[in-house]
């Protein structure tokens, strides 16, 4: 028996032994197409020679130095690169080792900002239902993933809560998209008023919602409306781009497509592409300067922040994305993926919605298309699809609880930016077959 505490305590997953390009191979010699990059991580695929070379070179020179004593060339160069390509003004970078740490750091940075500018009464965060911001206690608290939160709820800080921007289910019959968007913004403003806007530190949201909803972009103007409301009340806007950022949706930062500049952006998965554990918070000078002039110290830190090897890997990943024009590739191949999904699954009686942006697509499954009735959660359709896909040599990221943490099933696709059109067709073929196989196994049918 394995001594590792795996995600499931009742099953040991296959042992991965090798990976190259879009494929992962297990110890039994089975080869899988990695069509979700794990959880939207492997943006360059596996074994990219430029990233491996950068990591080898860094390890040979300096694997690690504690940031309480030193900075490193690698982390300085990565911060320069990120600042250069960031939305206007977001040129300060705090490095961490993953997405949850990035969110924790953003929450604390936002709080400390207000303490240092003489607004210590700001103690509340507002965030959305059906969102995910990480599994550490602060990040779990702002997240609105009911299933993940339930048993830990007594340990979590109180957070103001509003609806997600989830047009497929929540726009009413006869309601225009503009009216729906305005309804959401009115709800957000009402929540700010309920809490007292002068008590709110920040609004936290995923610009394109990832694992919890399954690649749901906002309606046009929603994030601009959010930005305006935050500005009106002096509230910071934290965009959690841990999953949707770093090129996944076809722009380096997902907010670019919305014409919005947040105060803080969290990034992680696609930053290092899985080659090393790394995340970051991009912050505006507006947030950082009062701290620099005040205490002069962000009261935070972990042992591995600014890790040189992680920074070298991430810099190489980001340089390859620029060098090889991969943001344009994401947009083009994303169009191909959307087309292939529409052609293959668009009229499927159990596919309710196909959505997403770039190489970040979600497929929501329903028992009945017209009424959008979901499958009985007890059937665990999402888990059946994952198992069928793996048995057929395909890795996708299905999840249940799409609607409210309990009901609803979706599949998330997030293939590497280097995927070819032929590989996309193969992914869609295998996915369609896996969905059929999972549906055929349901007791209802």
Ligand X SMILES: Cc1ncc(COP(=O)(O)O)c(C=O)c1O
Contact 47, 286 (CB under 8 A): no
Contact residue for ligand X among 21, 210, 356, 401 (CB under 6 A)? 210
Of 197 and 398, nearer to ligand X (C-beta) is: 398
- Taking the complex as a whole, the smallest distance from the CB of residue 245 to ligand X amounts, in Å, to 9
Residue with smaller CB distance to ligand X, 210 or 306: 210
Nearer CB in complex with ligand X: 109/115: 109
**CB 410 → ligand X: shortest distance, Å?**
14
- The torsion angle over the Cα atoms of residues 156, 157, 161 and 165, rounded to 10 degrees, is -60
Single residue of 72, 92, 100, 309 touching ligand X by CB under 6 A: 100
The dihedrals phi and psi of 430, each to the nearest 5 degrees, come to: -65, -35
DSSP states of 307-372 = -HHHHHHHHHHHHHHHHTTHHHHHHHHHHHHHHHHHHHHTT-TTEEEEEESSS-EEEEE-SBTTTT
The DSSP call for residue 274 is T
> Which range of residues in 20-28, 98-106, 335-343, 420-428 is near ligand X by CB under 6 A?
98-106
Cβ(43)–Cβ(245) below 8 Å = no
**Contacts to ligand X from residues 148-207, by CB under 6 A:** 206
Helix boundaries (H) for 196-300: 222-233, 269-272, 285-293
DSSP class of 373: B
> How many residues form the binding site for ligand X (CB under 6 A)?
15
Q: Give the DSSP letter of residue 46.
A: B
Q: Residue 257: CB partners within 8 Å, gap ≥ 6? A: 249, 250, 251, 357
Q: Which stretch binds ligand X (CB under 6 A): 57-65, 97-105, 184-192, 363-371?
A: 97-105
Least distance to ligand X from the beta carbon of 252, Å?
A: 16
- Which of residues 127, 204, 211, 281 is near ligand X by CB under 6 A? 211
Q: Smallest gap, in angstroms, from Cβ of residue 85 to ligand X?
A: 20
Of 222 and 375, the one with the shorter C-beta distance to ligand X is 222
Give the residue closest to ligand X by C-beta.
99
Phi-psi region of 23 (alpha: psi -120 to 50; beta: other; left: phi over 0): beta
x/- track of binding to ligand X for residues 14-53 (CB under 6 A): -------------------------x--------------
The answer to whether 77 touches 62, Cβ cutoff 8 Å, is: no
**Which range of residues in 99-107, 154-162, 219-227, 402-410 is near ligand X by CB under 6 A?**
99-107
Given the complex with ligand X, which of 98 and 334 has the nearer CB atom? 98
Q: Which lies closer to ligand X via its Cβ, residue 188 or residue 243?
A: 243
- Could you give the CA distance from residue 255 to residue 261 in angstroms, rounded to a whole number? 7
The whole-angstrom separation of Cα 266 and Cα 274 is 16
Residues 221-280 touching ligand X, rule: CB under 6 A, are 240, 242-243, 268
Report the nearest approach of ligand X to the CB of residue 324 (Å): 25
Sign of CA dihedral 215, 217, 218, 224: positive
Contact with ligand X (CB under 6 A) among 21, 134, 218, 358: 134
Measured from the CB atom, the residue of 116 and 206 that comes closer to ligand X is 206
Taking the complex as a whole, the smallest distance from the CB of residue 339 to ligand X amounts, in Å, to 26
Task: Name the E strands within 71-135.
Answer: 92-96, 124-128
Give min distance, CB of 196 to ligand X, in A.
Answer: 27
- DSSP, res 205: E
Residue 134 or 197 with smaller CB distance to ligand X: 134
- How many Cα atoms within 13 Å fall on the side-chain side of residue 166? 22
Q: Which is nearer to ligand X, 216 or 268 (CB)?
A: 268
Judged by CB under 6 A, the stretch of 84-92, 126-134, 155-163, 226-234 that binds ligand X is 126-134
Minimum distance between the CB of residue 65 and ligand X, rounded to whole angstroms?
A: 23
Q: How far is the CB of 310 from ligand X (least distance, A)?
A: 13
Whose tokens are 């344009």? That residue is 328
Neighbours of 12 (CB within 10 A): 11
Q: Which of 44/439 has CB closer to ligand X?
A: 44
Binding site for ligand X (CB under 6 A): 39, 98-100, 103, 132-134, 206, 210-211, 240, 242-243, 268
């Amino acid at each position: 028996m394995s001594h590792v505490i795996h995600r499931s305590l009742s099953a040991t997953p296959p042992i991965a032994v090798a990976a190259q390009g879009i494929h992962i191979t297990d110890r039994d010699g089975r080869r899988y197409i990695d069509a979700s990059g794990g959880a939207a991580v492997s943006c360059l695929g596996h074994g990219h020679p430029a990233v491996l070379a950068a990591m080898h070179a860094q390890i040979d020179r300096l694997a690690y130095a504690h940031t309480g004593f030193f900075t490193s060339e690698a982390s300085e160069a990565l911060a320069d690169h990120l600042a250069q390509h960031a939305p206007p003004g977001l040129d300060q970078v705090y490095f961490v080792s993953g997405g949850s740490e990035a969110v924790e750091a953003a929450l604390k940075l936002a709080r400390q900002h207000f303490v240092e500018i003489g607004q210590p009464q700001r103690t509340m965060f507002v965030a959305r239902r059906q969102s995910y911001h990480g599994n550490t206690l602060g990040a779990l608290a702002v997240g609105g993933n009911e299933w993940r939160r339930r048993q830990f709820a007594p340990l979590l800080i109180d957070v103001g809560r509003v609806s997600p921007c989830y047009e497929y289910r929540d726009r009413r019959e006869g309601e225009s998209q503009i009216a729906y968007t305005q309804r959401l913004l009115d709800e957000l403003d009402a929540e700010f008023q309920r809490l007292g806007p002068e008590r709110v530190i920040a609004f936290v949201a995923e610009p394109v919602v990832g694992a919890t909803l399954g690649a749901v972009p906002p309606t046009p103007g929603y994030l601009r409306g959010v930005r305006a409301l935050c500005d009106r009340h002096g509230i910071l806007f934290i965009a959690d781009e841990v999953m949707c950022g770093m090129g996944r949706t076809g722009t380096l930062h997902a907010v670019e497509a919305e014409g919005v500049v947040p105060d803080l952006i969290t990034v992680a998965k696609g930053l290092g592409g899985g080659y090393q554990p790394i995340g970051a918070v991009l912050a505006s000078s507006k947030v950082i300067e009062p701290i620099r002039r005040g205490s002069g110290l962000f009261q935070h830190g972990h042992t591995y922040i600014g890790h040189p090897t992680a920074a070298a890997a991430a810099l190489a990943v980001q340089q390859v994305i620029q060098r090889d024009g991969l943001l344009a590739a994401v947009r083009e191949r994303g169009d191909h993926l959307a087309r292939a999904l529409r052609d293959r699954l668009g009229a499927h009686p159990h596919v309710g919605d196909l959505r997403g942006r770039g190489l970040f697509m979600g497929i929501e499954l329903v028992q009945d298309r017209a009424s959008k009735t979901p499958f009985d959660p007890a059937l665990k359709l999402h888990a059946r699809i994952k198992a069928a896909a793996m048995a057929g040599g395909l890795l996708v990221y299905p999840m249940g609880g799409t609607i409210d943490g309990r009901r609803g099933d979706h599949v998330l696709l997030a293939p590497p930016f280097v995927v070819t059109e032929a590989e996309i067709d193969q992914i869609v073929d295998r996915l369609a077959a896996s969905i059929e196989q999972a549906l055929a196994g349901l007791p209802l049918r």
